[in-house]
Amino acid sequence: MPLSETIQVRVSKRQLAEVEEVMSELRRQGEKVTLSDIIRNGIDREIAWIKRGGVSPGEYHRSRETKLWNLIADFLHDESKIESNRGD
């Protein structure tokens, strides 16, 4: 039995471009990251969150959107701190 499975994931062109931009920046910083890494980590986080929450599908969807927005906002905030520190 194989250790992994191949799956198809549908994302918008905008989402894919954003992920590729983030991966490029991480690679410039010396990190080794792949699209598969990002997808696997996202899946792991979502499963853990669902198991902890015990929420209805509607609540899950709304909470997930809020969580995603917070993740993006935190990332952008952290990136701006990095950029401001580079100027010091």
Q: What is the pLDDT of residue 33?
A: 85
Using alpha carbons, select from 47, 42, 73, 72 the residue that is nearest to residue 60: 47
**DSSP-derived secondary structure letter, 17:** H
Tokens (6 digits) for 48: 């853990």
Give CB contacts under 8 A, 24+ apart, made by 17-25. 22/75, 25/79
Q: What is the pLDDT of residue 50?
A: 72
Q: What is the pLDDT of residue 68?
A: 72
Q: What tens-digit pLDDT sequence spans the chain (88 residues)?
A: 678 788 787 878 888 888 888 889 889 999 888 888 888 888 787 777 777 776 666 666 666 667 777 777 677 666 665 555 555 5
CB-CB contact of 27 with 33 (8 Å): yes
CB-CB contact of 63 with 81 (8 Å): no
